[in-house]
Structure 1
C-alpha cells in the first residue's frame, strides 16, 4: 500500500455508516489502514459491513438522542477521526414545509452534528484529531423545493467554520459539500416523489452537474480520506465542493 493518505492505526467513527456515502467512507478509510467504528441506527446492516472490514466494529447510535450517543461513546476509549455523515432530506418550498418536518430535518442534519461532535470532542482533542462533516451544495446555493434541507446544510457549514476558529491548533474540522450522489438516499427520493417518471427526473439530476454524471459514494469517500490524512494538515475550516462543477457554473 502506498504511504500517501495513509491512516495506519487511526480510529475513525462514521455516523450513518451502514449505507451510501457512509459505507463507502468506511471502506475507504479501512483500506487506508484505519480501524472503523460504524455508528448507525440500523445495527444489523452496520454489523454486516463491519464484518468485512479488518479491526472494525459496529455500534447502534441514534444521532438525534444524546443518551444513545453517550451509551455508544462509553465503549470507545480513543478516537482520531469523526465523520458526521448521517442525514435526511425533505422536498418542499417554505409554504409546503410542515413545522414538524422542518424540526426533524434540523434535528437529524444539524443537532446530530452538535451532539455527536460534543460527545467525541474530549477524545478528538486528546488525539489532535480530525472531523469531516458531510454537507451539501445545498448549503452554498439555493436548490428549488429544498427549503429545510438547504437551511440544515447551511448550518453544517457554519458549525464547521466556527469549531475550526475555536480549536485551530487542537484539531482540524472540514466540510465536504457534495452535489447529487448516486446513493439509496437519491433512489428513495425518486421512488417517493417521482415513481412515474424516475428516468426523466434522474436525467434532470444528472444535468445539474456540468461534468455529465452523478457523483458516486466513492468520489466522496476519497476526499474524506485525503482530509483526514497528514497530507491535508494545513486544511482547516474549509468547505470543499465536490459537485461535478455545479457551484462553478
Structure 2
C-alpha cells in the first residue's frame, strides 16, 4: 500500500483542467500538493511560475524543496497550444510551444531527479493523442507532445536503475474549462457535443477526473512495475477508423 501522507507532489499547471483534477486526486489521499503556474492557486499550495522563462524550472524545484524538504512525485502538465500551419506559424510561436511543452518538463525532471532518486519517486508527463496523430494546424503542438512521449521512455530507461519510474498519459478530448467554453461559444453547442461524442466509441468526451485517476495510480506503489509507457485515455477515439 502507498503511504500517501508522507509524499510531496509538484503539479505544473495544477490550477485548472487536468492538472487541477490530478492535484485534487493526490490531495484526497493525503499527499502534500504544490502546484506551479502563472497565477496563485486558491485550493493548493502554489508557486507562481512562467515556464516560458528558461530559469523557471530550477527555481520552482528549489522552492518546493525549501517549502517541503522533499519531492516524491512530479507531474508535468502545464501546456500551450498555438495553432498554425508550417507556413503560418512564426518561429517564436514554434519555439514557445517547444519551450513550455517539452523543454520545461525536461528541465523540471533534470532538477527534480536528485530528489526523486532519494525518494524512489515517480514522474507523470501529460502528453496527448496529438503526439500520436494530428488535428489540422497543430504541427508544433504535435511535435512537442511526441517529444514528451519519447522523453518519457528515455527517462524511464536511464533512471529506472535509480528507482525512479516515468510514464506519460495521452488524453484525447477532455471536458476542461477551455474546451467547455469553446463548445459554449458555438452556435449550436448541443449539436457539436453530439457530433464530438459520436467520434468516440464510448459515445462521449472525457472528464479530467478520468485522467487524474490514472495519474494517481501510476504514481502509486501498485504501479511499481510500470514505467516507460504512454497511456492513451481517449474513449477509444484513436482505435476507431473513419467510415469509407
TM-score by length of 1: 0.87
Question: Which of 48, 52, 62 pairs up with 2:50?
Answer: 62
What does 1:47-86 correspond to in 2, within 5 Å?
48-50=42-44, 57-75=45-63, 76=65, 77-86=69-78
Paired residues of 1:6 and 1:32 also in contact (CA < 8 A) = no
SS, match of residue 6 in structure 2? coil
1:161 maps onto 2:153 in alignment: yes
Distance, in Å, in 1 between the alignment partners of 2:186 and 2:117 is: 46
Query: For the Cα contact (< 8 Å) 1:64–1:115, is it kept in 2?
Result: no
Q: Shift of residue 179 of structure 1?
A: 0.6
Q: Paired residue for 1:225, among 216, 232, 235?
A: 216
* Cα separation, 2, equivalents of 1:103 and 1:203: 36
Counterpart of 1:176?
Answer: 169
Is 1:185–2:155 an aligned residue pair? Answer: no
CA contact (8 A) 1:139 1:150 kept: yes
Counterparts in 2 of 1:91 and 1:158: CA distance versus 1, 3 Å:
same
Number of aligned residue pairs? 235
**RMSD, matched Cα:** 1.9
Q: Secondary structure at the match of 1:64?
A: coil
Per-residue deviation, residues 43-83 of structure 1 (Å, max 9, x unmatched): 2xx1x111xxxxxx211122232433333322312100000
Give the Å deviation of 1:6. Answer: 5.8
Q: Give me the TM-score of the superposition, normalised by structure 2.
A: 0.88
Instruction: Say if 1:143 and 1:211 are closer, same or farther in 2 by CA, change over 3 A.
Output: same
Deviation of 1:168 after TM superposition, in Å, equals 1.6
Structure 1 stretches lacking a partner, 5+ long: 51-56
1:152 alignment partner in structure 2: 144
In structure 2, the residue matched to 1:107 is 99
Report the counterpart of residue 206 of structure 1 in structure 2. Answer: 197
In the alignment, structure 2 segments of 5+ residues that lack a partner are: none
